[in-house]
Chain A
């Protein structure tokens, strides 16, 4: 599903964020990406949803060479990828339902279908009763669930979560990771979680990739933080 071949990313400022990175993630995998701040984790996921383009090497997502996608086609490519952030990024003036529907509206989905899909995804994240609430009326965990619902409502092949539990307490964090696990299992979505959270990585053992100084330090399917 995701494949990097000798990828190097050097920013215009001269910062070398990634250095000759190669890796392979199969469809339906659940992967943690860990490492200290500034190690290149963010650059790595930005390359995947083409916020940035690799300086050299190749990035494939769903068999597509990301570099070769024309600028105007990027939006259509993005529909294959769901992204969730630490700060949720919900629209404050829209209800939960509208926030999720927004992702379908911009892709011209018929109204009837929007209603059906949003309801289904709300059920999956366990927020059926909050459809008409505004984001500020929800807890952090609930807001992150809405963000996840929005990210998966298009049925993307890959779900990227950038520090999804960064603002949440340990219990809520576990719920979020369990939700991501559920999505991974139910929809067979490839899930990529970038995180700092030791407890989570220790408790829910998955394939773990550690990035340090722009290189992959370890990559093991044993899981656990201290590898």
Chain B
């Protein structure tokens, strides 16, 4: 019964809410503006955070230990390293690359002029054999690398671990700092909307007094104000969504072109943009509803 009434009165309540937004022009506008700024920042921070996350996962998954074998080692001695590597705890896979393969890789990575230069080394290869070791958990990268150093005929062990970890940590800090910033902004917006609704209530206090006098239920009085808050939130989400839709697709294309297809791959714009837009709409409407609810509550104490 209550729900049916709610649906029946919904258009009327919506109209009341929109008229009230219009009549409280400046206050409504400043609230909508505050929501817009907040949601824009939230969109930016979330976009960065999700991309950082994706890149971090990518980097972590591709972290390997590069093991150079001593040139002095004979072929058998070199081959003997493989089972030792495999026996280490936490090692996922081991890949062997002979010194000739290593040279081929080196030559392939050079430009034309240098290629000829390096071709000369074909006869007397200065490189040694090498192993590429993948670990099960990136956290064990350090300890596994240390153990490998102690294996006989291992010349050099390199891995991008420590510097990459540092980068990831910095990015994480940026993300967390952003999150705190966004939460603070949401609180500010909550108060802004609550204040706007308070003004709207004051402007209509006679009407509310009469409504209460003739026996309007609390929800009947409350719903238009809550809708007003929700509308302010929704209006505030429009610009951030447009900015996200075009801004992110543009930034994605530019950055992807710049970086090429490699380790640093970004979150593709679709359906990411739609999902984040949905979140922004919900956030705007939710903050509006809650802000309005709290400011109406004070006026309806009987």
B-binding residues in A (CB < 8 A): 49-50, 71-72, 74-79, 83, 89, 91, 102-103, 106-108, 150-151, 154
Contact = CB atoms under 8 A, between A and B. Distances in A.
Contact of B215 (A72, A91, A107): A107
Contacts of B216: 75, 106-107
B214 A154 contact: yes
Contacts of B209: 89
Interface of B: 5, 8-9, 206-207, 209-218, 220, 302
A49 B213 CA distance: 9
Contacts, number: 50
B127 to A, nearest CB: 83
Nearest to A103: B214
Contact of A150 (B9, B214, B302): B214
A151 B8 CA distance: 25
Given A89-B213, A107-B214, A74 B302 contact: yes
Given A50-B302, A71-B302, A106-B220, A78 B207 contact: no
A89 B5 CA distance: 27
Contacts of A107: 214-216
A78 B5 contact: no
B269 to A, nearest CB: 48
19 contacts: A50-B302, A76-B217, A78-B212, A78-B214, A79-B214, A89-B213, A91-B206, A91-B207, A102-B210, A102-B214, A103-B214, A106-B214, A106-B216, A107-B215, A107-B216, A108-B5, A108-B9, A151-B214, A154-B215
A100 B131 CA distance: 90
B214 A89 contact: no
Given A91-B207, A106-B215, 17 more contacts: A49-B213, A78-B213, A79-B214, A79-B215, A89-B209, A89-B213, A91-B206, A102-B211, A103-B214, A106-B211, A106-B214, A106-B217, A107-B214, A108-B5, A150-B214, A151-B214, A154-B214
What 4 pairs across the A-B complex have the smallest Cβ distances? Answer: A106-B216, A79-B215, A103-B214, A78-B215
A108 B235 CA distance: 30
A198 to B, nearest CB: 28
A107 B221 CA distance: 11
Contacts of A102: 210-211, 214
A50 B209 CA distance: 13
Contacts of B212: 75, 78
B211 to A, nearest CB: 6
A76 B214 CA distance: 9
A75 B9 CA distance: 18
Nearest to A53: B302
A89 B210 CA distance: 7
Contacts of A108: 5, 8-9
Candidate in A49, A75, A79, A91 with the most chain B CB atoms within 10 angstroms: A75
A157 B214 CA distance: 13
Contacts of A89: 206, 209-210, 213
B218 A72 contact: yes
B210 A75 contact: no
A154 B215 CA distance: 10
A200 B109 CA distance: 109
B8 to A, nearest CB: 8
A10 B143 CA distance: 77
A185 to B, nearest CB: 24
A110 B209 CA distance: 23
Nearest to B213: A83
A93 B9 CA distance: 20
Contacts of B220: 75, 106
Contacts of B8: 108
A50 B212 CA distance: 11
A103 B216 CA distance: 8
B128 to A, nearest CB: 83
Contacts of B206: 89, 91
Contacts of A76: 215, 217
Candidate in B8, B209, B216 with the most chain A CB atoms within 10 angstroms: B216
A77 to B, nearest CB: 8
Candidate in A50, A71, A78, A83 with the most chain B CB atoms within 10 angstroms: A78
